[in-house]
Amino acid sequence: MFSHITTTPFGRRPMTLGQISKQMAAKAAKPDAVVHKWQVFQDIRVARELLGATDRSLAILNALLTFHPETALTGDAELVVWPSNEQLMARANGMPATTLRRHIAVLVDCGLIVRRDSPNGKRFARKGRGGEIEQAYGFDLSPIVARAEEIKDLAEAVHVEKKAFRVAKERLTLLRRDIVKMIDAGIEERVPGNWGRVQQTYQAIIGRLPRAAPRQLVEAICLDLQDLCTQIRDVLESFAKAQNPGANESHSGRHIQNSKPDPLSESEHGFSKSDEAAAIVAETDNVRSLPKRELPLGIVLDACPNLRDLAQGGEIRHWRDFLAAAELARPSLGISPSAWREAREVMGEQHAAITLAAMYQRAGQINNAGGYLRSLTDRAKEEKFSTWPMVMALLRARLDAQKAGAVEEGSAEDGASVEKPRIQASASLLKSLQKPRP
């Protein structure tokens, strides 16, 4: 009886040492080994990346398993199936023939199946007089039985990795929430400290986190965030103990969080209309006569270029990037969360962010940014404040500085010039800014 088992592929497909090693692994299956084909297929699905398989190749493997009549795969049974390409294409949801051949090769390279090619490359089985199969040419599924334990271990490793990654991301989320809320608490409660610098440190750590980060990087960032969180908590706890010596939770003379969110004694409310506020507020008395239109993002960025320094990558392309940068500017200006929340409720998020960007642009001229913002919020409640004249005033100031810089360059003795960012406003807007103010 013909008993030779082919080990080389048909046609021009070459034979490699890798294929020989995988065929040797297939022969290592124990005769008494029994595996459930759909259970081991589920393990293969989970560990497909470690095995080197693809979703298309697994669709073909699923179809091949359906051609084996038994649910159990045993080490001592003949596990060769011989479907035609047409049958495989039908059970693989109409996969094209070229794609089918390519992903069958992937299954062979992964060591999940072995080719048993006939002399002419056709797949068929030769049966004896009693109907038993004497020789079959097609795809041998015995590597699945031989590697069942290995595949199960790989699937378990994938589950463990996914769990560790999920735990790391949960820890990252909790640390980010704790740090942000504690920074807000420190600003709200007037805890001594450079909270702007703390915010910048936090952003520097988070800035190392890409959109798709591996678990190792997430865990490393969590360690840095944990150190920062511990430092912030120590500062807050020390301040709380200094404010409430010997106090306990049930008998507290002063709670960390104010029972009155906006006390009248707060220094922000004690802000008066000083010279720094008058520079902009004075231009908003004719708010009702201003045009009812939104400010373009480009004009706002021309007026407030310093906000770009806080944006990720130094670029602001959309309003959402602008709002995110404004959120970072708030603690650096020393504005409390309650003042910022009230400004957003009264002005709207976009106009509140524009106001904050203008304040950040003039940070060196504003001594009490929190009180200034509250003053502008109060004026906005009375419809006596608009961001339009504020932005125009900043644009006019930049235009004047730009002209002065051009004059200085023209009068320089060495003739050297330094390139400075130019205002990208339209010609009509620039013309209106050049008009003398009444």
Residue ranges of domains in the chain: 17-146, 161-241, 275-408+426-433
CATH (residue range 17-146):
1.10.10
- The pLDDT of 361-373, averaged and rounded, is 86
**In angstroms, how far is CA 174 from the centroid of its own chain?**
16
Q: What is the mean pLDDT of the chain?
A: 78
CA distance 218 to 164: 11
Number of Cβ atoms within 10 Å of the Cβ of 370: 22
Confidence of residue 220 (pLDDT cuts 50, 70, 90): very high
Higher per-residue confidence, 420 vs 387: 387
pLDDT of residue 250: 44
Burial class, 131, CB count within 10 angstroms (exposed 0-12 / middle 13-18 / buried 19+): exposed
**Stretch 192-205: mean pLDDT:** 87
- Taking every pair of C-alpha atoms in the chain, what is the biggest distance, in angstroms? 112
pLDDT tens-place string over residues 335-345: 888 889 999 99
Q: Which helix (H) or strand (E) holds 133?
A: strand 133-140
CA-nearest of 174, 172, 198 to 185 is 198
What are 293-334's pLDDT values in tens digits?
A: 578 888 888 888 888 888 877 788 888 889 988 888 888 888
Q: How much of the chain, in percent, has pLDDT values that exceed 70?
A: 74
3-state class (DSSP) for residue 139 = strand
Token code pair at residue 15 = 């034979």
Cβ atoms of 360 and 304 within 8 Å: the answer is yes
Amino acid letter, residue 393: A
- Residue 6 binned pLDDT confidence (cut-offs 50, 70, 90): low
